Structure 1
Amino acid sequence: MLCCTIFNVFDDTNNLIKEYKHWKLLVRNKTSTLGSCVAITKRHMAAFSEATPEEVQEFSSVVKDIEKSLKAAFNYDRINYLMLMMHDHHTHFHILPRYATSRTFEGVKWEDTAWPDAANLIVMKGAVVDQDYLNKVKKEILKHF
């Protein structure tokens, strides 16, 4: 039974990087910074406090995997994890690599316009990126898993 539309919102069919027992890790289709991802609990929960010890423990593996992969792929300077749940009332973290200087990937130049301040998703509001480009980002991340 579907709990909500979160997997459609982030298009897990096309954007899945890795499926864990309790989490799905996706490249973020509304990309704020190069390599933006989202980690979503597979089980619906409206508050992170509802997570089981196993779900919390596995999230540690998700964090280690994506930080290692994003660092190798795009050499981020910092990484931000945001749990907002204002529109999608399902536990998920936006994972935003942050960059002090611009990065170019596949001919596209990326600027982290909010650096060095906290990520501001209103200012950084990402447009939906072409799926072919997202596939290249996902492939680059996967090379380092």
Structure 2
Amino acid sequence: MCKILSDFKSKFKTDELKIFETEYWLWSLRPHQATLGAGILSLKRECTSLGQLMQEEFTDLNNIIKVIEATNKQLFSYDIMNYLMLMMIDKQVHYHVIPRYEKEIKIFGDVWKDSSWPGVPNLAGDAIDMNKLKKISSYVKDNLKGV
């Protein structure tokens, strides 16, 4: 595995927090939950530019987005989904997938509030214990929609 992809996977713990994958894309829970269900949607091969994607990767992107949106809508009833592709530090092609909520949500023994609604999401999010992250990840994985 190339260094850019290896460093990316390590930073975002994509293997440990994997929810779903297709042939070309991987959806994992973000280690820092900007909002409940915030994820990382990353290309599985090393790639540093959106313009380098192959047609079949674009087609497959559509497939996984349908699963992400249907699953998060069913489980958490988000109001709108934000997809942010920043790549300023992490050069691997990926999107930060941020469900947005107008109202707070009570689940997993916590109250989740989208503190920057309706503005730009706070990507820093809260640092969450790995056990809780795995609990959220497993819950989402066990309740996938549109697969």
8 Å contact kept, 1:73–1:140? no
Q: Is the 8 A contact 2:34 2:122 kept in 1?
A: no
For the 8 Å contact 2:18–2:29, the answer to whether it is kept is yes
Deviation track 1:85-142 (CA, whole Å, cap 9, x = no partner) reads 0110010000000000001111111110111123243xxx113211111112112212
Normalised to the residue count of structure 2, the TM-score between the two structures is: 0.91
Q: Are residue 135 (structure 1) and residue 137 (structure 2) matched?
A: no
Correspondent of 2:40 among 24, 30, 38:
38
Contact 1:85 1:91 in 2 (8 A): yes
The percentage of counterpart residues that share the same residue type is 31
Unpaired segments ≥5 residues, structure 2: none
TM score, norm. by length of structure 1: 0.93
Aligned positions of 1:42-57 closer than 5 A: 42-57=44-59
User: How many residues were matched structurally?
Assistant: 142
Post-superposition offset of 1:143: 2.9
Q: CA deviation at 1:21?
A: 1.1
Aligned-residue RMSD, C-alpha: 1.2
Deviations along 1:23-55, one digit per CA (max 9) or x if unpaired, are 111011111000000011011111111100000
What letter corresponds to residue 52 of structure 1 in structure 2?
A: M
Distance 1:98 1:88 in 2: 23
Alpha-carbon distance between aligned partners in 2 of 1:89 and 1:97, rounded to the nearest angstrom: 23
Number of the residue aligned with 1:80? 82
